[in-house]
């Protein structure tokens, strides 16, 4: 996945031409904060968890993830740039995996976590990752 943040169109928009990917979201478990943040931790100030959808984009790899906190098919963890913008540091098929990883990144760097996912996907306890 590219570290590019594309915003989903509003629900009423009729421009959406692509369809959601059929990739099973439960198989997604990618953690890469260390390679994205590296020695630039001072450029970031928070961790964010967002729901995302995979729309075919006509690119070589056939994927284009867009933030969709209303009807997500998977979840991504981002670090927030102090100057604005986000860099993706993890992709997950399960909400609880994204929350757990967000908490781990938060603990490592001392940043707050902002959860933008709707309540219907939230859990009451965070299980330990295996």
Residue-range domain boundaries for the chain: 24-117
Torsion sign across C-alpha atoms 85, 17, 49, 118:
positive
Model pTM? Answer: 0.71
CA 42 – CA 40 distance, rounded (Å): 5
CA 55 – CA 65 distance, rounded (Å): 6
- For the chain, the distance separating the N- and C-terminal CA atoms, rounded to the nearest angstrom, is 23
Q: Which residues, at least 6 apart from 125, have a Cβ–Cβ distance to it below 8 Å?
A: none
The predicted structure's pLDDT at residue 75: 95
Q: Map residue 106 onto helix, strand or coil.
A: helix
Residue 108 phi/psi, 5-degree rounding, is -65, -40
Per-residue pLDDT of the chain (130 residues; tens, 9 = 90+): 444 444 343 444 333 333 444 455 558 999 999 999 999 999 999 999 999 998 765 555 667 889 999 889 999 999 999 999 999 999 999 999 999 999 999 999 999 999 999 766 655 555 565 5
Locate 26 and state its tokens: 């439960």
């Amino acid at each position: 996945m590219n570290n590019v943040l594309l915003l989903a169109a509003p629900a009423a928009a009729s421009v959406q031409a692509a369809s959601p990917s059929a990739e099973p979201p439960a198989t997604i478990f990618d953690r890469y904060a260390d390679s994205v943040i590296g020695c630039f931790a001072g450029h970031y100030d928070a961790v964010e968890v967002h729901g995302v959808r995979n729309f075919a984009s006509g690119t070589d790899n056939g994927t284009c993830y867009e933030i969709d906190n209303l009807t997500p098919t998977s979840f991504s963890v981002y670090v927030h740039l102090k100057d604005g913008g986000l860099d993706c540091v993890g992709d997950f098929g399960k909400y609880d995996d994204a929350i757990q990883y967000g908490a781990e990144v938060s603990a490592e760097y001392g940043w707050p976590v902002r959860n933008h996912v709707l309540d219907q996907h939230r859990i009451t306890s965070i299980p330990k990752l295996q």
